[in-house]
Chains A and B, each alone.
Chain A
Amino acid sequence: MMISLPMTHGLILAGILFALGLVGVLVRRNIIFMLLSIEIMLNASGLAFITAGAQRGDPDGQIMFLFILTMAAAEVSVGLALILQFYHRFKTLDADAADRMRG
């Protein structure tokens, strides 16, 4: 399957998705939605790697995507465990509930 695709548009799509994830992290107060937005940002960076790898024609882009995938899986498991602890302690999902460190 030989297809010609505008690689610049792929990079722009990755940029749009990354910006949407960034705005989601900044805007939302619910901590679950913040973690979801971080996942969107990681996925967008993976799309940028795949696009660059397709442009260069070598498998390195896909390998970097695999590493991003591994990191996202480890990050989301720890993050969701932290969210469960957060909810058991504060009885809310508001990220502002943990705005001070009582060391």
Chain B
Amino acid sequence: MNALFYISAIVAVISTLLVITRANAVHALLYLIVSLLSISLIFYLFGAPLAAILEVIIYAGAIVVLFVFVVMMLNMGPQTLVQEQQWVRRRVWLGPSILGAILLAELIYITMAGGGHTTTARVIGIKAVGLTLFGSYLLGVELASLLLLAGLIGAYHLGRRKFHRTVSRGTS
């Protein structure tokens, strides 16, 4: 069972690395789906089946589809690929990558210093999660609904065409 975890972890890291290095946005999105599916498998191995299901449905389903629709609406031609390769040069990615690697090394050191726990993962089913979610976290659920409403109204307001013209005329 441990081999499954390590295989999906390696797949997740490689596909995430490919996501942040691709020039084509659609290729990056497809690699992101692979990364999300492997993380979903890790959730299942950690005894969290509800999180695994929601990872597939909401992340790999809804959010990636939103990204694909926006990439389609922007209608970028082949010249953007060349432009993208010019934007990401060696001297551009070298500095942030070194700084990120230093932070990651510190993080791994701190995590390892805490002692290697090998815990037996107990499956926490959907019923237990639901009981806790609508019990002690009921206020959080209400706040999440408010957040989603705000996101809906914000996306509708910002998504209208020629929004900036009407505003600039209205205020000036």
Contacts and interface: CB of A to CB of B under 8 A. Distances in A.
Contacts of A35: 67
A73 B118 contact: no
Contact of B88 (A29, A63, A85): A29
A98 interface: no
Interface of B: 1-2, 5-6, 9, 12-13, 16-17, 19-20, 25, 28-29, 32, 35-36, 39, 42-43, 45-48, 50-51, 54-55, 58-59, 62-63, 66-67, 70-71, 73-74, 76, 80, 84, 87-88, 92-93, 96-97, 99-101, 103-104, 107-108, 111-112, 114-124, 128-129, 131-133, 137, 140, 144, 147-148, 150-152, 154-159, 161-164
24 contacts: A2-B121, A2-B122, A5-B45, A8-B111, A13-B9, A13-B13, A19-B100, A19-B101, A20-B20, A23-B20, A32-B25, A33-B20, A43-B59, A47-B42, A58-B132, A59-B129, A59-B133, A73-B58, A77-B151, A78-B155, A81-B155, A85-B158, A85-B163, A88-B161
